[in-house]
């Protein structure tokens, strides 16, 4: 999108939750957003980048209580750590704030009261578990007991970490408050709901505008429209770490109500409370608001959030860009394999710009998952970044320029043709940055680097200088002008490297697209300093080894009723005859989807070839997005007695190792076919 009008753009990335460290999944999104923002600024637009830590909710309260500190102390410390790690990857925020702020409280209350005044808020009673000792309603995670399915003790009130079953807290056996051990009682409580269905027509119109979301996102949203928009519970009972709802006693905003309003609060804080400036973005349709998020929070950002803004008197987002998940070496990030990599661990061993370069080479406009293969990472950085772009600069900026008094000459006519070819790609590169298709930008820059390097190779200034120093000077002048053009194109991706090229050429300020039309001639070149070095495979291996957990934790297929879910469940010895009773077969996942009301479950249609299909409920949602499972061949226990769950009948069990986000499904050899029995 090329326009002479200076655009005004406010950009956000999703708020990291303040209960854990920054890992490569967070870094992917931060880099993708930062590249977009840097491009907009380099293109001359007025652009701001806002983010914050997401700080409210039960997990924060629990984590602070465990450490024996106040929640405010915990979130302040974590926010500093998050900001340190994210900016370590050269992510440049205009403001990185917190949702636990006065600005956020005021805005949340204003929007809520506006929704209530317009009739978009409803109240009704719901039944919840209550602890008489602690005088509090208990979220599912505050309740523990014995799993009603497998008999494992010390399980949470919503799901079993041993067998993966999900259930209602009232079905838990020997249930007790996780805080004091007192058995809970059932008690009714008034809750507050946002009537999302009131905004069906508005949301449908917003989604249909192809500039707001990508086609894949639009299809997913249309599925949700078809299922009907449900009222959204936006209240939680105290004690709760969050904002109290105005006009209510002991009722707090659910974290997902005030979290996205944190985008607004971060901008209001940056604008120093200036509501005119604030409204010029959040109420003025001539400005743009762009959100970058992962596909796991799509529902909140493309349904609840636009409706909340609309009902609260604000404009809806111009763009919600949705990206996929990151895998490492072809698999989900795994602590046992050392590939669940925290940002601070990466930064100890590897160059942040190398990751920016590599990820940008794989990022497109859709929400496909992206794999970080360290073998491919090493090859791409060493060949395309160091061997192509950096080499173009270094090979002519050392001894050759020293012999030429480190002074450029005039551009020869054939060299101007080369530079014109590089400049001819400007429009395409602008368009690809704008559409978040960074992979095409990187491929084009690599091609243009090859063009410039071929010119240098063909003329060989290291030979020219022996017979005609001025011809060599002309060749060097073309090479460094080409490097300057590429530095501008690549600046959003590798800002530090591009700025080093600018400094070498004696140029002031940051690389800008407005500099593309001018030439650099008869100017001094500074002494060469290393721009970046090659990736060392040894550093990668050290990082992976340091990230490995001492032992791999295994999720077992069929734990005994008394096994305790602490690391590896102990099953006891079985005979070879017992083992022979277990039927393991290859199945292909033909359908997979979330289970409403179950945070951990995925419902799978397992194709067993000639044996037909089986319905499976698997507790793997933390590690696998349902859409990514379709077509995957897995190993399953197929003669397991069907288990009746409240969601339906589960007729088999998928085999997996690990737990949580590091869980990995067992997959057969690639030639195995559905229905094949494993021996």
Inter-helix orientation angle 24-42/352-360, to 10°:
80
pLDDT of residue 641: 82
Tokens of 100: 């636990």
pLDDT of residue 572: 44
Mean pLDDT of 540-568: 50
Binned at pLDDT 50, 70 and 90, residue 549 comes out as low
CA distances to 66, 176, 635 from 155, rounded to whole Å, are 18, 10, 26
- The pLDDT tens digits for 190-239 are 999 999 999 999 999 999 999 999 998 998 888 888 888 999 999 999 88
CA distances to 54, 93, 96 from 344, rounded to whole Å, are 20, 18, 18
CB atoms within 10 A of CB 653: 20
Nearest to 92 by CA among 1, 8, 13, 22: 13
Among the residue ranges 21-30, 101-110, 420-429, 608-617, the one predicted with the least confidence is: 608-617
Instruction: Write a three-state SS string for 318-386.
Output: CEEEEECCEEECCECCCCCCCCCCEHHHHHHHCCHHHHHHHHHCCCCCCCCCEEECHHHHHHHHHHHHH
> In terms of CATH, what superfamily is 372-515?
Isoleucyl-tRNA Synthetase; Domain 1 (1.10.730.10)
Mean pLDDT of 261-272: 98
pLDDT of residue 412: 97
47 is in an annotated binding site: no
In a 13 Å sphere around the CA of 563, the CA atoms on its Cβ side amount to: 21
- The pLDDT tens digits for 582-625 are 888 999 898 888 887 676 888 988 988 878 889 999 888 877 77
Tokens of 25: 């999944």
Q: Tabulate helix, strand, coil % of the chain (nearest 5).
A: 40, 20, 40
CATH number of 8-118+199-216+247-328: 3.40.50.620
Among the residue ranges 178-182, 279-283, 406-410, 447-451, the one predicted with the least confidence is: 178-182
Residues with Cβ < 8 Å from 223, sequence gap 6 or more? none
131 is in an annotated binding site: no
pLDDT at 567 > cutoff 70: no
- % of the chain beyond a pLDDT of 90: 68
- The pLDDT tens digits for 372-431 are 999 999 999 999 999 999 999 999 999 999 999 999 999 999 999 999 999 999 999 999
180 is in an annotated binding site: no
- The pLDDT tens digits for 455-498 are 999 999 999 999 999 999 999 999 999 999 999 999 999 999 99
pLDDT of residue 573: 53
The residues spanned by each domain of the chain are 8-118+199-216+247-328, 372-515, 576-665
Cα–Cα distance for residue pair 247/151, rounded to 1 Å: 44
pLDDT of residue 646: 66
Among the residue ranges 54-63, 136-145, 612-621, the one predicted with the least confidence is: 136-145
Sole residue written with tokens 């604030």: 278
pLDDT of residue 574: 54
Q: Do domains 8-118+199-216+247-328 and 372-515 have the same CATH topology?
A: no
In this structure, what is the dihedral angle of CA atoms 563, 564, 567, 570, given to the nearest 10 degrees? -20
**Sign of the CA dihedral running 469, 470, 473, 475:** negative
pLDDT at 562 > cutoff 70: no
Binned at pLDDT 50, 70 and 90, residue 167 comes out as confident
> In terms of CATH, what superfamily is 576-665?
Nucleic acid-binding proteins (2.40.50.140)
pLDDT of residue 563: 27
Binned at pLDDT 50, 70 and 90, residue 566 comes out as very low
pLDDT of residue 278: 98
Q: Are 432 and 43 in contact (CB under 8 A)?
A: no
- Degrees to nearest 5, angle at CA 207 with 206 and 211: 85
Q: Give the H/E segment covering residue 258.
A: helix 255-270
What backbone torsions phi and psi does residue 505 show, to the nearest 5 degrees?
-85, 5
DSSP assignment, residue 17?
B
51 is in an annotated binding site: no
pLDDT of residue 569: 31
Among the residue ranges 410-424, 641-655, 663-677, the one predicted with the least confidence is: 663-677
Binned at pLDDT 50, 70 and 90, residue 540 comes out as very high
Q: Are 306 and 26 in contact (CB under 8 A)?
A: no
500 is in an annotated binding site: no
Integer-rounded Cα radius of gyration of the chain:
29
The span from the first CA to the last CA of the chain, in angstroms, equals: 58
């Amino acid at each position: 999108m090329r326009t002479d009008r200076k655009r005004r753009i406010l950009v956000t990335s999703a708020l990291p939750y303040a209960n854990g460290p920054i890992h490569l999944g967070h870094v992917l999104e931060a880099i993708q957003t930062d590249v977009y923002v840097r491009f907009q600024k380099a293109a001359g637009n007025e652009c701001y980048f806002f983010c914050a830590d997401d700080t409210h909710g039960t997990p924060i309260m629990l984590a602070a209580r465990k450490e024996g500190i106040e929640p405010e102390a915990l979130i302040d410390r974590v926010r500093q750590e998050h900001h340190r790690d994210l900016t370590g990857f050269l992510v440049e925020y205009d403001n990185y704030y917190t949702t636990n702020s006065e600005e956020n409280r005021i805005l949340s209350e204003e929007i809520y009261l506006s929704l209530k005044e317009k009739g978009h808020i409803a109240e009704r009673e719901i039944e919840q578990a209550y602890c008489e000792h602690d005088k509090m309603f208990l979220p599912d995670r505050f309740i523990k007991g014995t799993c009603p399915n497998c008999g494992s003790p010390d399980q949470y009130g919503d799901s079993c970490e041993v067998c993966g079953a999900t259930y209602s807290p009232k079905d838990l056996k020997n249930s007790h408050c996780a805080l004091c051990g007192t058995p809970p009682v059932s008690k009714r409580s008034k809750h507050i709901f946002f009537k999302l269905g009131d905004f069906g027509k508005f949301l449908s119109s917003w989604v249909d505008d192809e500039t707001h979301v990508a086609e894949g996102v639009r299809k997913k949203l249309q599925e949700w429209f078809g299922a009907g928009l449900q009222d959204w519970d936006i209240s939680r009972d105290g004690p709760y770490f969050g904002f109290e709802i105005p006009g209510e006693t002991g009722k707090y905003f659910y974290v997902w109500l005030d979290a996205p309003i944190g985008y607004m609060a971060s901008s209001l804080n940056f604008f120093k409370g200036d509501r005119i400036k604030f409204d010029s973005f959040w109420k003025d349709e001539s400005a743009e608001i762009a959100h970058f998020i992962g596909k796991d929070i799509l529902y909140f950002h493309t349904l609840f959030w636009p409706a909340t803004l609309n009902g609260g008197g604000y404009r809806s987002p111009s763009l919600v860009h949705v990206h996929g998940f990151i895998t490492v070496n072809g698999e989900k990030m795994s602590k046992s394999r050392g590939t669940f990599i925290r940002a601070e661990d990466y930064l100890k061993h590897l160059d942040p710009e190398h990751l920016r370069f590599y990820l940008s080479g794989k990022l497109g406009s859709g929400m496909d998952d992206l794999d970080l293969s360290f073998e491919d990472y090493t090859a791409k950085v060493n060949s395309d970044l160091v061997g192509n772009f950096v080499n173009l600069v270094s090979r002519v900026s050392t001894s050759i320029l020293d012999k030429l008094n480190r002074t450029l000459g005039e551009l020869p006519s054939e060299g101007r043709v080369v530079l014109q070819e590089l400049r001819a790609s400007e429009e395409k590169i602008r368009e690809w940055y704008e559409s978040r298709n960074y992979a095409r930008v990187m491929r084009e820059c690599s091609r243009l680097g090859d063009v410039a390097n071929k010119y240098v190779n063909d003329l060989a200034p290291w030979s020219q200088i022996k017979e005609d120093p001025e011809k060599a000077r002309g060749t060097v002048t073309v090479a460094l002008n080409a490097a300057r053009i590429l530095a501008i194109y690549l600046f959003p991706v590798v800002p530090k490297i591009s700025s080093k090229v600018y400094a070498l050429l004696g140029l002031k300020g940051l690389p800008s697209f407005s500099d593309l039309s001018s030439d650099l001639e008869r100017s001094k070149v500074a002494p060469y300093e290393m721009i970046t070095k090659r990736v060392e495979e040894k550093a990668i291996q050290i990082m992976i080894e340091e990230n490995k957990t001492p032992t791999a934790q295994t999720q077992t297929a069929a734990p005994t009723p008394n096994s305790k879910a602490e690391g590896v469940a102990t099953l006891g010895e079985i005979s070879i005859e017992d083992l022979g009773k277990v039927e393991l077969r290859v199945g292909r996942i033909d359908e997979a989807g979330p289970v409403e009301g179950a945070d951990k479950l995925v419902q799978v249609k397992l194709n067993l070839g000639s044996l037909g299909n089986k319905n499976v409920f698997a507790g793997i949602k933390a590690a696998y997005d349902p859409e990514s499972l379709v077509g995957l061949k897995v190993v399953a226990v197929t003669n397991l007695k069907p288990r009746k769950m409240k969601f339906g009948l589960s007729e088999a069990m998928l085999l997996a190792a690990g737990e949580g986000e590091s869980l990995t499904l067992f997959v057969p050899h690639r030639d195995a076919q559905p229905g094949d029995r494993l021996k």
